[in-house]
Structure 1
Amino acid sequence: MNPIFNQGTSPAQRLTLVLLCSAALIFFDHKMASFETARGYLQSLVSPLQYMANAPKQMMTWASENIVIRQQLMKENQHFRENELFFHEQAMQLDIVRQENERLRSLLSSPVRGEIKKMFAEILSVDSDPYSHQVVINRGTNDGVYEGQPVLDEKGIVGQILHVGASSSRVILISDISHAIPVRIQRNGLRLIASGSGQIDRLIHNFVAHSADVKEGDLLVTSGLGGKYPEGYPVSRVVLVRTDESREFATIYSQPVAQIDRLRYMLLLSKETTKEPSAEASKTNSGSLKNSSKAGKS
C-alpha cells in the first residue's frame, strides 16, 4: 500500500548531504583545527573503553610473566639453599681441620723433655661406665707401649696406661676414683697426693694438715716420686681450701689442667731415652780411640 504523501528526502539526497557535510568537516578540521577540543573530550570519553578492552590481554601478560618469574625465583632460591648447605658443610670441615691442626700443633709443642721419648696416640673409644674414667687408644705392644706408661695432652697429665693389647691400650684417667698420683705445689714444693673423685673436674687431696701452706690457685705438678710420672709436669690447680677445726684434716680440691672431657689426641711418655746422645757419645768415643791409636803409633 503506497502512502498518500511522500515524507522526507530521498536516499540519494541524504547521501549527497552527508558527503557534503563530511567534506566540510574535513576541510575545517584540516585547515582550521576547529575540532581539536572536541576530539580531546571524545578521546577522554573513549579511553576507559580502550582500557577495558586491553585489560584481559594485560592481565594475561602480567600473570604469565609473574608465574615465570616466580618459578625462576623458586629455582634460584633452591639453588642458593643447596649452595649454602654445601658451603656450610665445607666451612665445618675446614673448622674441624683447623681445630685438629691447632690441637696437633699444641700437642707436639707440649713441654716434654728432649731426652724423654714420646709417642703420639689417638682415642678410639671412651668407657661408658659413669663410675670408671677410662679410654682406649690406638697404641699397643706393637708400638712399644707398656703398663704404667704416663699419658698427657697439650695442657698436662691425663693418666697412665692400665692394660696393654697388641694394637690398642686402655688408659685410666687421673679423675678415676681408683687413681692417685704424687704431686707437689709448684710455689713451695709441698708434697700432696692427688686422688680421683669420680668427677672429671675434681681431684681430692686427703690427709693434708690444717697448717699446710696451700692456697687457691696453686699449681700442682708431678713430684717424680714413685717412678711413674716424670717430675715437673702440670697436673691440676687448687680450687678449694677449707679448714674446719672439727675435722682432723683440711678439705682441698683441685681441678685438672688437662681437658679430660675433650680428649682426642694424647702423648705417651717413655722411660727410654732418645738415641741421639748415645750416637754422639759413640762418635766421640770412636774419635778418641782413633786419636789414642795415632798417638800410640807415633
Structure 2
Amino acid sequence: MSPIFKHGPSAQHRLLLVLFCSVFLIFFDHHIGSFETARGYLQSFVSPLQYLATAPKRMMIWTAENLTSRKDLIEQNQSYKVNELLLREQLMHLSDLEKENNRLRSLLASPLREETKKMVAEVIAVDSDPYTHQIVINRGANDGVYEGQAVLDDQGIVGQIQHVGTISSRVILITDVTHAVPVRVSRNGIRMIATGTGQIDKLVNNFVPHSTDVVAGDVLVTSGLGGKYPEGYPVSTILKVNQDESRAFAQVISEPVAKIDRLRYLLLLWPSIKNAEPSAIKEEKK
C-alpha cells in the first residue's frame, strides 16, 4: 500500500547532492591529501578479499605447473635409464682403452676403434629352471638380432644370444654351466677362459698355471678371441687364487661385474662390418 504523503528529497535532488559531494571530496583529496591514511586502511581491509578472490586461479596455475601425469613421469624415467646405460657402456670401454694405451706405445699411431651399433633391450622373462641361467628379452629377428650376439648391462658382459625369435630372443648368461668367455687380465694381458658355475656370483677360470701372474682384485675383460664378444669389455673381478701344488693348475675364482640377479635393461652390440662374422653381416644387410 502506497503512503499518501511522500517525504524527503526527490531522486534528482539526491543525484545532485551525491555529485556535489563527490566533486568536493575529489577536490579536497587532490589539494590537501588528507585521505591518504584512510585509503591505506581501506586497502588493508580489501587485500584479504582480493587474495580470496584470486585464490582459485592461482591454485589452478600452480597445479598445471607442478603436477605431471604419471605417464609422462614413466616415459621420462625410462629415457633417463636408457641414456645412463649408453653412457656407462661408453665409459667402461674408454677405461679399458686408457689402460691399453699405457701398455702399448705403438697404439699411439693406430687408428681409433670403429663405433659399433648398439640397441637397448628389456628383460621380459627369467628362466625358472634352477640348473640353467637364461633370460628372455624383447628384441628379435625383426630388430636384426642374431645368435651369438654379445649382451651387456651398465657394468659389463651379461651373456650372448642363444635363440632368436621374431620379436623376442633367449639369452644365455655367463654364469650358466655351459657357457665360457675368452678373457684376459686387464693389468697384464694374460689370457684365460671364464666358465659359468651355475651360481650368479661366481665364475671359475680353468687351466691357469701356478706361475701365472694373477692376484685377487684383477679385472678380467673380454679378449676378443672367438669372435663372439668384442674386445675390452669387463667380465669379472678375481676374488681368490688357490695355489694348491697337488693340483695341476691353480684354482682362480672370479665374480661377474654385471648384476646378474637384477637385470632389466640390457645392451645389444653389433661388431663392425670388417670384423663381423659372415652370419652377422648377413643379418645386418637385412
Q: Give the TM-score of the pair, scaled to structure 2.
A: 0.60
Which digits, 9 at most, give the CA deviation of each residue in 1:73-99, with x for residues without a partner? xxxxxxxxxxxxxxxxx9x99998897
What letter is aligned with 1:162?
Answer: Q
Matching of residue 107 in structure 1 with residue 102 in structure 2: no
Partner SS, residue 211 of structure 1: coil
What letter is aligned with 1:111?
Answer: E
Rounded to whole Å, the distance in 1 between the matches of 2:130 and 2:75 is 30
Which digits, 9 at most, give the CA deviation of each residue in 1:148-179, with x for residues without a partner? 00000110000000000001000000000000
Which digits, 9 at most, give the CA deviation of each residue in 1:96-121, with x for residues without a partner? 88975654332111334761001110
Rounded to whole Å, the distance in 2 between the matches of 1:130 and 1:145 is 26
- Alignment partner, residue 269 of structure 1: 269
Rounded to whole Å, the distance in 2 between the matches of 1:217 and 1:95 is 40
Partner SS, residue 131 of structure 1: coil
Which digits, 9 at most, give the CA deviation of each residue in 1:189-210, with x for residues without a partner? 0000000000000000011111
- Alignment partner, residue 175 of structure 1: 175
- Alignment partner, residue 187 of structure 1: 187
CA contact (8 A) 1:140 1:165 kept: yes
Pairing of 1:178-217 with structure 2 (within 5 A)? 178-217=178-217
Rounded to whole Å, the distance in 2 between the matches of 1:168 and 1:236 is 27
Rounded to whole Å, the distance in 2 between the matches of 1:117 and 1:251 is 37
CA contact (8 A) 2:204 2:252 kept: yes
How far did 1:246 drift? 1.0
Q: What is the total number of aligned residue pairs between the two structures?
A: 184
Partner SS, residue 261 of structure 2: helix
How far did 1:230 drift? 0.6
The structure with the largest alpha-carbon Rg is 1
Rounded to whole Å, the distance in 2 between the matches of 1:248 and 1:199 is 24
Partner SS, residue 104 of structure 1: helix
- Alignment partner, residue 255 of structure 2: 255
Rounded to whole Å, the distance in 2 between the matches of 1:235 and 1:132 is 19
- Alignment partner, residue 161 of structure 2: 161
> Identity percentage over the alignment?
62
CA contact (8 A) 2:82 2:120 kept: no
Rounded to whole Å, the distance in 2 between the matches of 1:257 and 1:188 is 19
**Moved beyond 4 Å, runs of 4+:** 92-102
CA contact (8 A) 1:115 1:273 kept: no
CA contact (8 A) 1:117 1:273 kept: no
What letter is aligned with 1:104?
Answer: V
Rounded to whole Å, the distance in 2 between the matches of 1:229 and 1:238 is 20
Question: Is the alpha carbon distance of 1:261 and 1:95 closer, same or farther for their aligned partners in structure 2, counting shifts above 3 Å?
Answer: farther
- Alignment partner, residue 138 of structure 1: 138
Partner SS, residue 271 of structure 2: strand
Matching of residue 121 in structure 1 with residue 121 in structure 2: yes
Rounded to whole Å, the distance in 1 between the matches of 2:186 and 2:242 is 20
Question: Is the alpha carbon distance of 1:271 and 1:251 closer, same or farther for their aligned partners in structure 2, counting shifts above 3 Å?
Answer: same
What letter is aligned with 2:261?
Answer: D
CA contact (8 A) 1:149 1:269 kept: yes
Rounded to whole Å, the distance in 2 between the matches of 1:242 and 1:94 is 53
Pairing of 1:24-173 with structure 2 (within 5 A)? 103-112=81-90, 115-173=115-173
Rounded to whole Å, the distance in 2 between the matches of 1:258 and 1:273 is 27
Rounded to whole Å, the distance in 2 between the matches of 1:247 and 1:237 is 23
- Alignment partner, residue 282 of structure 1: none
Rounded to whole Å, the distance in 2 between the matches of 1:253 and 1:228 is 22
Partner SS, residue 124 of structure 1: strand
* Gap regions ≥5 residues in structure 2: 1-67, 91-112, 275-286
Rounded to whole Å, the distance in 1 between the matches of 2:80 and 2:248 is 46
